[in-house]
Amino acid sequence: MAKVYEALRRAEEERKRKVQGGAAQVPAVDWDPTPHTAPASKAASRKFGGLFRRASGGERPTAAGNAAADANKRRISLLEPDSFIAEQFRMLRGRLDSLSAESPIKTIAVTSANAGEGKSNVSINLAVVTAMSVGRRVLLIDCDMRRPTICGSLGMEAQNGLAEILTGRCTADEAILKLEGTNLEMIGVRMQPQNPSELLGSTEMRALLEEVSGRYDRVILDTPATLGLPDSKIVAGLCDAYLMVVRAGETAREDVESALEVLDRRRAIGIVLNGAEMGHERYAYY
């Protein structure tokens, strides 16, 4: 338990430092989302390459440039469905389907040990490629009521959100948004309550998951980082399984071990490596 306590203490100090220093956003990435050798990569590189490379190039990234890069990165499977990154998510989808064939997995929480490791990127892109399956209905739920990102990343605006459902201000149907041209639907965040942990652990949250798991083929829940907050442990405990996202070269091994211990490693169905290097290229996911 000493390792868990130390990891939690570091995570809390880092969170406070970011809040006090005003560093709320994830820094711009420095990788090209598709391999230069693949035919489909040329269009993606022209379209997004400038945004993705600003952090490492001579041009200083602006706040608007960082925001645009983050948004494009989070929805690349939607914007460039033939890209290398989208194919990696299809592989992940296939592996999850194989596991689900052995034991049904309807609800999957996606989390990370610390903030900024790419869990929302994985949640969105996995949901997008899963919804591309013929005749499959997918629901994506933003469970991060402290720093929500799902709706903004997909260009949507929630009139009602998760907190409104859990507090009885609206029904699930009144909060669900449909992403045009896809089988993907989502529940975002509008109201940011003072008691997100209590709402996530409420009987209303259990009832919501029971309702939507009967209506959708897969429900993917984007949660806050595990260390320093109780939210992801609560949500993961309500789901059939969870995915852990780690960032290559940045996430400390002891933090991953501590997060798995907090969440119960027996419920983990996989770890997604974000920012992995393949030869001379850096890819977002592999």
Contact criterion met (CB below 8 Å) for 203 and 168 = no
pLDDT computed for residue 167 by the predictor? 97
Lowest-confidence pick of 16-30, 165-179, 181-195 = 16-30
Nearest to 285 by CA among 241, 245, 251, 253: 245
Tens of pLDDT, residue by residue over 138-182, are 999 999 999 999 999 898 999 999 999 999 999 999 999 999 888
* pLDDT reported for residue 180: 86
What string of DSSP letters covers 162-179? HHHHHTTSS-HHHH-EE-
Strands (E), 62-216: 107-112, 138-142, 177-178, 184-187
Question: Is residue 29 over pLDDT 60?
Answer: no
When pLDDT is cut at 50, 70 and 90, the band that residue 231 belongs to is very high
Tens digit of each residue's pLDDT (9 = 90 or more) over 62-80: 444 455 555 555 555 665 6
Q: Are 240 and 108 in contact (CB under 8 A)?
A: yes
Q: How confident is the model at residue 133 (pLDDT cuts 50, 70, 90)?
A: confident
Note the pTM of the prediction, 2 decimals: 0.74
- Is the pLDDT at 57 greater than 50? The verdict is no
User: Which amino acid would we find at residue 20?
Assistant: Q
State mean pLDDT over 3-31: 45
C-alpha distances (whole Å) from 5 to each of 42, 55, 115, 242 are: 47, 34, 17, 22
pLDDT at 35 (0 to 100): 32
What share of the chain in percent tops pLDDT 70? 68
Beta strands in 188-282 (DSSP E): 218-222, 241-247, 268-274, 277-278, 281-282
> Is the model more confident about 52 or about 181?
181
Cα 9 to Cα 227: distance, rounded to the nearest angstrom:
8
* Residues present in the chain in total: 286
Span 235-240, average pLDDT: 97
Which tens digit of pLDDT belongs to each residue from 92-129? 999 999 999 888 899 999 999 999 999 999 999 999 99
CATH numbers and ranges of domains, the chain: 2-25+80-282 (3.40.50.300)
Which pLDDT does position 276 carry in this prediction?
Answer: 77
